[in-house]
Amino acid sequence: MGYIEDLRKIIGHKCINLVGSVVIIKNERDEILLQKRTFPVDTWSFPGGLSELGENTLDTAVREVREETSLEVKNLELFGFYSSDGVCKGETGDEWCVYIAAYVCRDFSGEVKINDGESAALEWTALSNLPERFGKSQKRILDDYVKSQTLTGRKNTDSV
């Protein structure tokens, strides 16, 4: 049982601050790795998740990528820090505000494979072929990343 689940047993549905990390992983073909989540169903996102008690965002990023993709990531670069717009409320009644550290990684090893129950699929995707149903909390990160690639002289094509 994780920290958040243990905390919810004590406080119920009350609003809490959640801290997490996501990683934009780029391969040698300039594709990014996307994860199709099992919940919400058919929603795409970056690999990542919530921090455990006492864990910093970099360690969270490395652990979550390993748990969800089987990849070992290193030399992560902080891309940005994001927060929810106010209080979020889930189907269970749980309330939270989320703060996400987004990293970019080009240095990884291993073979991509689903390693947990949170992933329905893992796919390398070109920026010109992004899925439409992207997780709300990560859509701003995706939009900012695509914009940053355009601003750095890269075109939004199959080769980013």
Task: Quote the number of domains for the chain.
Answer: 1
Phi-psi region of 47 (alpha: psi -120 to 50; beta: other; left: phi over 0): beta
Interval 23-68: pLDDT, tens = 999 999 999 999 998 887 889 999 999 999 999 999 999 999 999 9
Q: Which domain holds residue 98?
A: 3-151
Interval 114-129: pLDDT, tens = 987 888 999 999 999 9
Report the CATH number at residue 56. Answer: 3.90.79.10
Which of 74-107 are b and which e, b meaning 16 or more Cβ less than 10 Å from the residue's Cβ? eebeebeebebeeeeeeeeebebebbbbbbbbee
The answer to whether residue 158 is domain-embedded is no
